[in-house]
Amino acid sequence: MRVTRLFPAGLLAAIMLLVGCQGSENAETADLVLTNAYVYTADEVRTVAEAVAVRDNEIVYVGSKDGAAGLISDSTDVRDLGGAMVMPGIHDMHIHALGTVQPNMCDLQSEARTLEELVPMLKQCIVDYGIEDGEWLVVLQWPFSRGNQPSDSLPHMRAALDAVSMEHPIFLWGDDGHHGAANSLAFSMAINEDGENIEINAETLESEYAFFKPMIAVDAAGEPTGGINEDARMLIRSAGMADMLGMTGELDGTLQRVATKMAANGITTLQDAIVTPETLAAYGRLEESGNMTFRFRAAMVEPPSEDREAIDAHIANLVALRNQYASYRYVSANGVKLFADAVIEGNPLTSPPTMPVAAMLDGFRQPIYGGNVEDDTFDIVGYVDQHRETCQSVQAEPDAYSGSDVIDDFVSEFGFYPQQCIPYEGVLEHEEEFIRAYIRKATEAGFHVHVHALADKGVRIAVDEFGKVKDIADRNGTTQSLAHVQIAHPDDQQRIGELGISVVFTFVWAIPGIQYEMMVIPFIDEVDGVADLYNPESYYMQNVYPAKSIQDYGGVLVNGSDAPVGSRDPMPFTSLQQAIYRSDGEVVMNAAQRIDVHSAIAAFTINGARLFGHENNVGTIEAGKKADIIVLSQNIVDLAESGSPEHISATEVTMTVFDGRVVYDQIAN
């Protein structure tokens, strides 16, 4: 049953005039009137009106089309929308905006390819971009979780990249922002933390680079197979933010393109989740140019060191930046971003399987894979029992099982690798003490604190520390938010709600996909083959992207695309669809966590405004608020409530009004 309200035109107009908040008795006319529309206000009672009027940068009337007629003069821009849906501008509260526009670099566009298909394409990139021998081939938007099937001649990614070139160091940046891959030449060029060139190989992964070993895919002999993830990537290619997120070069031109793209997607407020002083300055120049199409919060980068004194110095610099931009109309430098953990995808196509990185409360399982990806027989065929006597022996004397002959004999006898006997819990992005200290110090300094917490251990630590400093945040009027929350323990879901924490979900990720799930679920739950991946009783399936539970407990659901992760397109309506649908049309990704269309729209509008701290000015369509308004090609409420949420992703923005200005317009007068 629909819960929105469509008042009779005359009654609504009378109510608006009586309360005296929807205009000044028609004393002045409007600059813009959108009429004959389905105006979804997103207010507390989900009012639906017929028209909205704007004067200067303010909404001056919301009500009937007859009532709006009195605000029209010869100079008013009047748009008869023929029943089209109007809603508040979208808030994207976790995006890397500079990376949403295409750079002039080799780019795989997140399109899946086998290793055999990948080789000629990358060879062509060397030709197309005129890359000389010895120069880097840097490749963007590599879909690490799809495709990449090996072959007899190309058993792993390193072999494939070596086949592309041995004269060029090659680096692939995963389209999730956390994975990477390199060829042999690139591994030989690794630079340690002291600035020395020391190759990454089996020997140095046991000594010089031991800390980074969980982040690097290796074969049975311990030699890298190409995959290199998280901070380990910086040993080979330190320009990660510049490469992936477009954070260097001609920033002003890039941001002009970003402004156009945000307007076309209906995004009128965003939080950029990794901002440096240099990129902040570029956002400031965009406002000064008069071409801003969105309100902006900078979530400033975390400190370069975990030293306590470094934290203090870093926050002092951020306070100075916050003060510098305090007078700006659209730019706010009052947020910080912290990585509590990384990601939880392993790689079942390596031998042995590469383990996930992010920390789990109950640790990871060691699946045994069998079959062949080429004939679709690839599957989970069992699990390593780490309590068996054989594994106890490996745990007691791991060095005794490191020789290639010994490993081969072990695998031949037992069907798995000796290193799979070693218990593994994953790792946090920083020491727990640092995570807690930074949350506290940033909160005390009056910053909105935004924490990437994807797996359950990172979520628990962040939520626990948020609870300890909540009183300080409340006194300062600042917010606490988590990004992504792919999996959270039920106890922490409840605690998130009790604390009123905002969870910025990337809803578009809440969709099933067998190749992806094979990289995650078998490492967390013991499943009986691929047919059991979506077992509703498993820990993962019960707690994956727990939006509805967190909402029911009192948490605040917010949208964050994380673009260009997965796609350079922020895809707001694909994300909104998956918040409701969570399905590929066949399998549902935890149906109990679906939310209704009204909760979903709130996550993209007023809830984002609350997280930003400007809910009194934007986030709903109400008189007296700033005019951040969008017009849609179809009615997403009707689609959801008529049982067709799978069509919401086809929605297009036909007009965007930002601060009273039409900044995107596909509607003919």
Q: What is the pLDDT of residue 18?
A: 38
- The CATH 2.30.40.10 portion of the chain extends over 5-83+621-665
Q: CA 448, CA 483: separation in Å to the nearest integer?
A: 13
Q: Backbone phi, then psi, for 109, in 5-degree steps?
A: 55, 25
Q: What is the pLDDT of residue 27?
A: 56
3 state SS of 80 = strand
Sequence-ordered list of residues with C-beta below 8 angstroms from that of 243, at least 6 positions apart, any chain: 105, 138, 140, 171, 173, 237
Sequence-ordered list of residues with C-beta below 8 angstroms from that of 227, at least 6 positions apart, any chain: 144, 157, 179, 180, 181, 216, 217, 347, 350, 354
Per the CB < 8 A criterion, the answer to whether 603 and 139 are in contact is no
**Which run of H or E residues covers position 186?**
helix 184-188
Q: What is the pLDDT of residue 306?
A: 87
Instruction: Give tens-digit pLDDT for 362-408.
Output: 999 999 999 988 788 999 999 999 999 999 999 999 999 988 889 99
Residue 450 pairs in a beta bridge with 337, 481
Per the CB < 8 A criterion, the answer to whether 519 and 347 are in contact is yes
Q: CA 344, CA 178: separation in Å to the nearest integer?
A: 10
Q: What percent of the chain has pLDDT over 90?
A: 82
Q: Which CATH class is domain 102-244?
A: alpha beta
Q: What is the pLDDT of residue 3?
A: 39
Q: Which amino acid is present at 262? A: M
Q: What is the pLDDT of residue 5?
A: 41
Of 2.40.110.10, 2.30.40.10, 2.40.340.10, 1.25.40.10, the CATH number of 5-83+621-665 is 2.30.40.10
Residue 137 pairs in a beta bridge with 170
Q: pLDDT averaged over the chain?
A: 92
Tally Cβ neighbours within 10 Å of residue 397.
Answer: 9
Question: Pick from 519, 532, 489, 636: which is nearest to 90 by CA?
Answer: 636
The order of strands in the sheet holding 170-174 is 106-107, 137-142, 170-174, 180-182, 224-228, 216-218
Averages of pLDDT over each 10 residues, the chain, 669 residues: 39 40 59 98 97 98 97 97 98 96 88 94 94 93 88 92 95 87 94 92 91 87 89 85 74 96 98 96 98 98 87 96 98 98 91 93 96 88 96 95 90 94 95 97 98 98 98 98 98 98 97 94 96 96 98 98 92 98 94 97 98 98 98 98 97 98 89
Sequence-ordered list of residues with C-beta below 8 angstroms from that of 433, at least 6 positions apart, any chain: none
Kindly report the three-state secondary structure assignment for every residue of 547-588: HHHHHHHCCEEEECCCCCCCCCCCCHHHHHHHHHHCECCCCE
Per the CB < 8 A criterion, the answer to whether 32 and 54 are in contact is yes
Q: What is the pLDDT of residue 454?
A: 97
Question: In terms of DSSP bridges, do strands 629-632 and 85-88 run parallel, antiparallel, or are they unpaired?
Answer: antiparallel
Alpha helices for 426-567 (secondary structure H): 432-444, 456-476, 490-499, 514-517, 521-524, 539-543, 547-553
Question: Pick from 540, 539, 558: which is nearest to 496 by CA?
Answer: 558
Sequence-ordered list of residues with C-beta below 8 angstroms from that of 113, at least 6 positions apart, any chain: 121, 147, 148
- The CATH 3.10.310.70 portion of the chain extends over 102-244
What the block records as the tokens of 532 is 């059991």
Question: Which architecture characterizes domain 255-341+429-522+535-612 according to CATH?
Answer: Alpha-Beta Barrel (3.20)
**Which run of H or E residues covers position 284?**
helix 277-289
What the block records as the tokens of 181 is 């891959």
pTM, 2 dp:
0.89
